[in-house]
Amino acid sequence: MNTLALELNQVLDGSIAGRMLSDFGRRLYFPKGIVAQSAEAGARAHRFNATVGMAVHSGEPMELPSLSAQLPGLTPRETVAYAPTAGVPELRKLWLKAMKAKNPSLNPEAISLPAVTPGLTAGVAQAADMFCDEGDTIIIPDMFWGNYRLIFEERRLSKIRSFQFFSDDGGFNLEAFRNVLNEEAAHGQLRVLLNFPNNPTGYSPTVHEAREITNILVEQADKGIDVLVLCDDAYFGLFYEEGTYTESLFAPLSQAHERILTIKLDGSTKEDFVWGFRVGFLTFGSAGQTAQQYDALLKKLSGGLRSAISNSSSVGQHLLIHLFNSPDYAGEKQGFFLELKQRYLRIREVFRENPPPPCLEPLPFNSGYFMSFRCRELDAEQLRLSLLEQGIGTISIAGEYLRVAYSSVDLDQLSELYTAIFHAAEELSATGS
């Protein structure tokens, strides 16, 4: 094993992070190669800097004039220069500040500085690389984003174990969650992934449910079980109902117990309506973790990023810095939030005026981009195909659920959309399809 990896492992040994690292995670390190030497030269090479593989003219990166004309508000260093492996420092600090504003109970002194990842998918994959080995089990509610299977089961050869998302009462199934944790705790470690607002259901826990989820995880830690919790917060902030928990579970869990390591996976992708920018963030949090240990984790993460993607888009990061510093940013973002909330409320209104047929059961939803139906005695894939013939696109899941992304349908078209879905479902149900 590389000496640098051994040094980082020594820093982490004895901590929750050190105990839960995968074999690959233990081997990760950030090399003192071109990137590190270039950073050192950037600070000290005042005569000539012949380190970075970029073309430079008069001290500035070369930028084609036809490109710079498209981005007049940015300098060449903001558009075409490489970004640091873990992200532009100013952006990382701005995101930490924003995390605190969005999560008032969060202690920013007790967590790591966020690192930039090329989208949330890459963040989830990096976390899996660092903490999931072949044969490890990761616990996820049974309504989950299908890409988790590729990340955990195919890339890492780990096993997904799911539990019933919703209780018979229609809320988060706390009993099923506790039961599956109790069963898996026999292995001495727990790996859990929670995604709120959830894709595909559009559900977020209530204040009471969030408190109980935290308590259930702390119960396991109190028994001496090491617990890793991944908080996929891709749709964070899009909460439409009173009583919904409006902070990330990362906030309480990052301070809850020395045996709980929490990783927040979030980003501007959905929060700031910049899907194609591919700018996500990964943040570590655990009670008792030291600044030196967070630095070691970030070095390992940087090694993972360096080995996979080198660094994230520079232009996307600098555009976000300008966005966050804009006086119009908050108001513009609030306007988009209200538009999405209006669509959510319109769907509720449609359901009251024209209830779904018995063959379509709406699952609980209160946030995010989506809502889903459970298809009763009806094949969801057949329904999807029937709708597609009418020029309507939806997503079928496991032959039982139909996901509707109302985020991509204008407010004045929602009634027509759902009327068509209901009619198609009734026709298929009547024919026994």
The pLDDT of residue 48 is: 66
pLDDT, position 38: 64
pLDDT (tens digit, 9 = 90+) per residue, 218-261?
999 999 999 999 999 999 999 999 999 999 999 999 999 999 99
Q: Which helix (H) or strand (E) holds 283?
A: strand 280-285
Q: For residue 318, give Cα distances in angstroms to 18, 78, 276, 328.
A: 34, 6, 14, 17
Q: Tens digits of per-residue pLDDT, 89-118?
A: 999 999 999 999 999 999 988 999 999 999
- Please tell me the pTM assigned to this model: 0.94
Q: How many helices (H) and strands (E) does the chain have?
A: 18, 13
**Rounded mean pLDDT, 151-164:** 97
How would residue 85 be classed by pLDDT, with cut points 50, 70 and 90? very high
What pLDDT sits at residue 41?
A: 59
Contact indicator for 344, 406 with CB cutoff of 8 Å: yes
* Domains of the chain from N-terminus onward: 3-30+85-324 (3.40.640.10), 329-431 (3.90.1150.10)
Tens digits of per-residue pLDDT, 331-381?
999 999 999 999 999 999 999 999 999 999 999 999 999 999 999 989 999
**Across residues 180-207, what is the average pLDDT?**
97
Q: Which helix (DSSP H) or strand (DSSP E) does residue 304 occupy?
A: helix 291-308
What pLDDT, in 10s, does the model give residues 274-303?
999 999 999 999 998 999 999 999 999 999
Phi, psi of 124 (to 5 degrees): -60, -45
pLDDT (0 to 100) of residue 54: 84
pLDDT above 70 for 43: no
Q: What is the pLDDT of residue 430?
A: 83
Q: What is the mean pLDDT of residues 50-54?
A: 76
Calpha distance 128→37 (Å, rounded): 29
CA-CA-CA-CA dihedral for 52, 58, 61, 63, to nearest 10: -150
Average pLDDT of the residues of the chain: 94
pLDDT at 433 over 60: no
Q: What is the pLDDT of residue 60?
A: 86
Residue 429: its pLDDT value, please?
A: 85
From CA 358, how far away is CA 401, in angstroms rounded?
14
Q: What percent of the chain has pLDDT over 90?
A: 88
**Res. 42: pLDDT tops 90:** no
Strand partners, 57: 60
Confidence of residue 37 (pLDDT cuts 50, 70, 90): low
